[in-house]
């Protein structure tokens, strides 16, 4: 008889074998790996004691590469082959990269950079001395380095990792991150939103309850999340941000300001080395201005040494529009959460870019209180991810486990007749989640249904982001409106979507895991939300017009079918009257007056009531023909 091995709740069955799970902050500028050791989360250092790993990879000829600090040191001399801020390219097409001309890289279309993981398609790639590399491959190099650091620290292989992503990463960007983890040989336990990871770290550290805002301004992305913390439950009640706004943009704005002072333009710099030197000098100047009122901007451009004294006020004026963009997203998230700034108990600052004095000051003015800074903004996300990874590996933190309730940033739905969007899962819905809705066929005898999955806040599919298309085939032929097709949307804990469609009478089913090949453009998510608010009235009118046309088409189709089947029940005057009503409706369909179309549709419906009653009587007579009352 074999014995069952048991263990305490939350503990490993074998006390000598602990699963090593880590949290990884895959950042735009720097990346980190953290783990829970002796019950305390901490960032793991490299052999030189540095916890930060620059998110930079340099590719050499004959397949060599440098990663991290070594690559960063060579960035100015070999800008074309030294890839930095690759996170901004994850899941994006070539047309989506803002200021591509100012970057020192050689971009190629996704088809030329397709990888074994299927990440070609529409995602851009970069031509390097080591060959064409996709952002997924570059990110995988960084992740593999952090994995090796963790395994060297613990002396054993990793069980898995929680990797953080911006809350505003769309489905394609999240899928690209998952593929990068797979390439790096990492078992991904979960993708965790960066603001939520920060809330985990602060929640345990401060043991506070209430409503908090997490302001996360990193090197390449900005997120704002409003969370309710209560008894170990982290509930995200609203989220917003910009997946193409971060410290890199402050560097670029300062670089443009310097060029203007020099009487030059960014287009005048054609040498990749000059482009890299300009941005590196801007970053160094920006960081110096955090601690002092003035700093020197020093770089060698086009063979000349350039040096300009920059005042903090100059830098703040040149970047004020960027800071205001973050505040606009904050106000929108507060509106979504139905909160006023004064109702927020505290503001958690995350990301190295939040060290800038103008950012600290702007956030304090908006919320009327000084933001929380008692944890290192560079490390807080990795620490929170480590806590979550520790729990997902089956370990206890010695107290109540955390429950994470994240949300999706944009609504998900399908296109219906007339190009309308029927939302299945609204934005800011808590994930993981699954929702279903029933639909039907439009035409008699329809045996297939095309399903178009979209993401966005507009009422028309053409104004939203297309995610996937698939078909449900094998529907039994029936009258229009008789079939019942249940479409189910499922969003997992990583924020990734799968869609299934099932015809309920026959059981035929189709399914797709939504995996687009590239992500949203730099400003597309923010534009989707802005247009959703700004064009609400226009969308309502457009939706009403489309719905009126769909109803009219359905009425015309049904009437025509009825005449073809039972037209002999009509007298010539009656037939002429119905034909006139149909002609009037077709005339109204040529215009854009929804009310007129609805009125003409109603007139046709009323004009065919007597005809419909005769058809029903004929059907009943035919069904009862030859039967006696007793046989019934």
Does the N-terminal peptide bond of residue 129 adopt cis geometry, omega within 30 degrees of 0?
Answer: no
Which residue, among 238, 165, 195, 179, has the nearest Cα to 408 in the 3D structure?
Answer: 238
Dmax (CA) of the chain? 108
Whether 87 is catalytic is yes
Which residue, among 318, 312, 276, has the nearest Cα to 296 in the 3D structure?
Answer: 312
CA distance 74 to 66: 9
Residue of 87, 275, 286, 515 marked active site: 87
Lookup: tokens for 168 = 């505003």
Element (H, E) at 367: helix 357-367
CA distance 87 to 519: 12
Q: List the alpha helices (DSSP H) in 46-134.
A: 69-73
262-265-266-272 Cα dihedral, nearest 10 degrees? -70
- The answer to whether the CB of 92 falls within 8 A of the CB of 521 is yes
- The answer to whether the CB of 246 falls within 8 A of the CB of 218 is yes
Whether 194 is catalytic is yes
CA distance 100 to 108: 11
Residue of 46, 171, 179, 216 marked active site: 216
- For the chain, the distance separating the N- and C-terminal CA atoms, rounded to the nearest angstrom, is 67
Which residue, among 171, 223, 119, has the nearest Cα to 489 in the 3D structure?
Answer: 171
Backbone dihedral region for residue 416 (phi beyond 0: left; psi -120 to 50: alpha; all else: beta) = beta
CA distance 276 to 85: 12
CA distance 622 to 32: 78
Element (H, E) at 71: helix 69-73
CA distance 405 to 472: 33
Lookup: tokens for 318 = 């040149």
Whether 444 is catalytic is no
CA distance 351 to 495: 22
Residue of 194, 248, 463, 522 marked active site: 194
Rg (CA), the chain: 30
The number of angstroms, rounded, from the C-alpha of 245 to the middle of its chain's C-alpha atoms is 14
CA distance 436 to 507: 16
CA distance 350 to 222: 10
Element (H, E) at 415: strand 412-416
CA distance 223 to 343: 19
Active site residues per annotation: 25, 87, 194, 216
């Amino acid at each position: 008889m074999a014995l069952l091995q048991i263990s305490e709740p939350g503990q490993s069955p074998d006390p000598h074998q602990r699963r090593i799970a880590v949290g990884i902050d895959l950042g735009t500028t720097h990346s980190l790996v953290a783990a829970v050791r002796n019950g305390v989360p901490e960032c793991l250092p490299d052999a030189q004691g540095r916890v930060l790993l620059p998110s930079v990879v340099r590719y050499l000829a004959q397949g060599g590469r440098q990663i991290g600090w070594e690559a960063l040191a060579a960035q100015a001399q070999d800008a074309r082959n030294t890839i930095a801020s690759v996170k901004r390219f994850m899941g994006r097409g070539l047309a989506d990269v803002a200021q591509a001309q100012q970057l020192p890289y050689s971009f190629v279309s996704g088809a030329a950079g397709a990888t074994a993981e299927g990440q070609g398609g529409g995602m851009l790639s970069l031509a390097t001395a080591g060959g064409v590399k996709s952002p997924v491959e570059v990110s995988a190099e960084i992740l593999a380095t952090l994995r090796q650091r963790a395994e060297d620290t613990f002396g054993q292989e990793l069980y898995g990792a929680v990797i953080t992503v911006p809350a505003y990463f769309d489905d394609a960007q999240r899928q690209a991150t998952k593929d990068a983890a797979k390439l790096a040989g990492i078992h991904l336990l979960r993708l965790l939103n960066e603001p939520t990871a920060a809330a985990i770290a602060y929640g345990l550290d401060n043991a506070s309850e209430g409503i908090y805002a997490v302001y996360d301004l990193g090197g390449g992305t900005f997120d704002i999340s409003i969370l309710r913390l209560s008894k170990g439950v982290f509930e995200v009640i609203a989220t917003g941000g910009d997946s193409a706004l971060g410290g890199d943009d402050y560097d670029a704005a300062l670089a443009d300001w310097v060029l203007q002072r020099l009487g030059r333009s960014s287009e005048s710099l054609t040498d990749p080395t000059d482009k890299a030197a300009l941005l590196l000098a801007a970053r160094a100047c920006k960081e110096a201005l955090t601690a002092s009122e003035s700093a020197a901007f020093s770089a060698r451009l086009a063979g000349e040494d350039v040096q300009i004294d920059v005042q903090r006020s100059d830098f703040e004026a040149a970047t004020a529009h960027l800071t205001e963009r973050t505040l606009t997203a904050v106000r929108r998230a507060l509106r979504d959460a139905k909160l006023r700034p004064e109702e927020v108990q505290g503001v958690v600052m995350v990301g190295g870019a939040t060290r800038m004095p103008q950012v600290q000051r702007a956030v304090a003015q908006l919320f009327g209180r000084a933001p929380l800074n008692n944890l290192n903004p560079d490390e807080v996300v990795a620490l929170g991810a480590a806590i979550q990874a520790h729990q997902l590996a089956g370990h206890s933190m010695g107290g109540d486990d955390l429950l994470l309730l994240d949300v999706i940033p944009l609504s998900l739905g399908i296109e219906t007749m007339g190009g309308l969007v029927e939302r299945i899962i609204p934005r800011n819905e808590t994930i993981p989640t699954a929702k279903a809705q029933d639909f039907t066929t439009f035409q008699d005898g329809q045996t297939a249904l095309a399903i178009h999955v979209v993401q966005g806040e507009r009422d028309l599919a053409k104004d939203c982001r297309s995610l996937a298309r698939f078909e449900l085939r094998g529907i039994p032929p029936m009258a229009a409106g008789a079939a019942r097709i249940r479409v189910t949307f499922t969003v997992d804990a990583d924020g990734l979507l799968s869609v299934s469609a099932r015809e309920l009478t026959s059981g035929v089913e189709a399914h797709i895991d939504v995996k687009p090949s590239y992500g949203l453009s730099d400003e597309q998510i923010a534009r989707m939300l802005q247009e959703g608010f700004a064009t609400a009235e226009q969308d309502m009118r457009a939706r009403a017009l489309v719905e009126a046309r769909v109803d009219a088409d359905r009425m015309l189709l049904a009437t025509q079918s009825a005449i073809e089947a039972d037209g002999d029940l009509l007298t010539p005057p009656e037939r002429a009257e119905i034909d006139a009503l149909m002609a009037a409706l077709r005339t109204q369909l040529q215009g854009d007056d929804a009310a007129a179309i609805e009125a003409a549709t109603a007139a046709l419906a009323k004009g065919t009531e007597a005809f419909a009653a005769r058809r029903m009587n004929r059907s009943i007579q035919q069904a009862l023909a030859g039967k006696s009352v007793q046989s019934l």
